[in-house]
Structure 1
């Protein structure tokens, strides 16, 4: 039975809409002042986390998955199924939509679909996201897109720190400027851009749009996926269960003094988004701080979180 947490080194992605907040907030070493994404727990070929500690140090998460499936409860997925990111939107993200598993597998070389969810770590006053659209039929959606009537088509939603959004495949969406988000998603990098504000890159080129595929996969009319958070108040903290879907279950742990928890899943992903403290199991104590990403492997069992910590946890 493996009782050592697997700490991971993130991968960073430069984006046209990125900034520097991932450095100032989490003390990450970022590649530039346009860094938009921290792939904290990732085995996707486009960016893999690396093990930092223990006997598997320096292995990529993909290599660990291939060589030591016992650490993941011999989970049946062909590849590591989830991806945890922290996103900083200095500017608006492109308006986009993701395919489901069936469409992605058929049209994107066997890639997974992409359902995801967002926890708003922080945001500027007045920040918004785009979440959904107004079209009631496919011809109406096509017409609004062709005429560029984005203000009529897109639904804007004001956001505040602590908000949570479940974004299943088929949902038109975009993070707005001034948002900092932890995203839990299927391990997929397939995105269909619908609109990008006519932005150009440093060479004056507009980014590619994927209008036909986006129309193919968009849910019409928009149907907000229902979810009802379950809040478990304990003496030393709070456990909030946000969603249980076929792809992932996502929790927030607010540790005020201590929380006693159990890892009874094939594996458990943890990202510390605020505070510091420790994870104790048996005679072992592991320090935790804001910006840490780790996996508790299969059979980890009971553990205690101590200190003042906010973390997002998930499992398939």
Structure 2
């Protein structure tokens, strides 16, 4: 019989050409350098598996638990842990990119999952924007504008502010832009096809690789804006916003102000605290949580409460 306890996770950090110091400045993380772009907060991907920080599984990776303790995840039917939660610090513009779906990635990327993702804007500079979609009406026009480098004509830019949410299905041309801090919920995949990288060079003077043919293969043309209808549920001490419910994940924002009781009938939930602090209580055991805490609620946690002033992004497959 496995214990009914949360699984707290130690994040993995990644340096990126576009990274900065916001993960240290805003979350207090001990980061690699002032070019740290990604916090892989809840991950069982081989390129950056999280480590359990508490209880009998302390020191094990999430991927080990997924393989060896399937009861913790409600015997969820998937060979791979399906989701990956990241916090991204876009200190400068990310490359314009696109991700494949499961079929294409499975065929051309050694059985990797595709990558549908979504973003919650934690913070951004004034007048920030991002690339979401494009203006080409046909594959021919799409290829021609890329070939001619007419990026301003091709790319669709969207103004953003803190609290915005974007659903980014595979096939969507996209890019986070300078001065943006986001929580990303995605399929557990590390496959990205770069379309344009601003002709940047790394410290050795080399440009990063582009993947134009694969990008043309997988891009949705013409672009389709994702239709997301938010659902909001209010109680005395909480506001729960459901951002998206679709094939790969459901994503919520929990805004808790005071004690809120929850019941869980799901295989498991991923929880990332992005603001505030409070106490998570399970079976009369109390666990402090605060901004930057990430944990999984396994399937055997049927009842729990959170007391405090806490905002969290929560997901499940």
Specify if TM > 0.5.
yes
Taking the aligned partners of 2:96 and 2:260, their CA distance within structure 1 comes to 39
- Displacement of 1:261 in angstroms is 1.5
The CA deviation string for residues 244-283 of structure 1, in whole angstroms up to 9 with x for no partner, is 1110000000011122212211111000001000111231
Runs of 4+ in 1 over 4 A off after TM superposition: none
- Displacement of 1:303 in angstroms is 1.1
Taking the aligned partners of 1:98 and 1:90, their CA distance within structure 2 comes to 22
- Displacement of 1:223 in angstroms is 0.4
Q: Which residue does the alignment assign to 1:16?
A: 17
- Displacement of 1:66 in angstroms is 0.8
Q: Which residue does the alignment assign to 2:171?
A: 170
Taking the aligned partners of 1:80 and 1:61, their CA distance within structure 2 comes to 8
Taking the aligned partners of 1:282 and 1:239, their CA distance within structure 2 comes to 23
Taking the aligned partners of 2:117 and 2:184, their CA distance within structure 1 comes to 7
- After TM superposition, the structure 1 = structure 2 runs for residues 152-191 of structure 1, keeping only pairs within 5 Å, are 152-191=153-192
**Alpha carbon RMSD of aligned pairs, Å?**
0.7
SS of equivalent residue, structure 2 residue 40:
strand
Q: Which residue does the alignment assign to 2:133?
A: 132
The CA deviation string for residues 162-221 of structure 1, in whole angstroms up to 9 with x for no partner, is 000000000000001000000000000000000000000000000000000000000010
Q: Which residue does the alignment assign to 2:194?
A: 193
SS of equivalent residue, structure 2 residue 171:
coil
Ranges in structure 1 where 5+ consecutive residues have no aligned partner: none
The CA deviation string for residues 276-296 of structure 1, in whole angstroms up to 9 with x for no partner, is 001112311110010011000
Q: Which residue does the alignment assign to 2:267?
A: 266
Q: Which residue does the alignment assign to 2:280?
A: 279
Taking the aligned partners of 2:160 and 2:135, their CA distance within structure 1 comes to 19
Taking the aligned partners of 2:205 and 2:184, their CA distance within structure 1 comes to 30
- Displacement of 1:103 in angstroms is 0.4
For structure 1, which segment, 282-291 or 175-184, has the greater mean C-alpha deviation from structure 2 after superposition?
282-291
Taking the aligned partners of 2:283 and 2:108, their CA distance within structure 1 comes to 48
- After TM superposition, the structure 1 = structure 2 runs for residues 23-34 of structure 1, keeping only pairs within 5 Å, are 23-34=24-35
Q: Which residue does the alignment assign to 2:37?
A: 36
Taking the aligned partners of 1:196 and 1:256, their CA distance within structure 2 comes to 42
Q: Which residue does the alignment assign to 2:254?
A: 253
Ranges in structure 2 where 5+ consecutive residues have no aligned partner: none
- Displacement of 1:302 in angstroms is 1.5
Give the structure-2-normalised TM-score.
Answer: 0.99
Taking the aligned partners of 1:2 and 1:142, their CA distance within structure 2 comes to 55
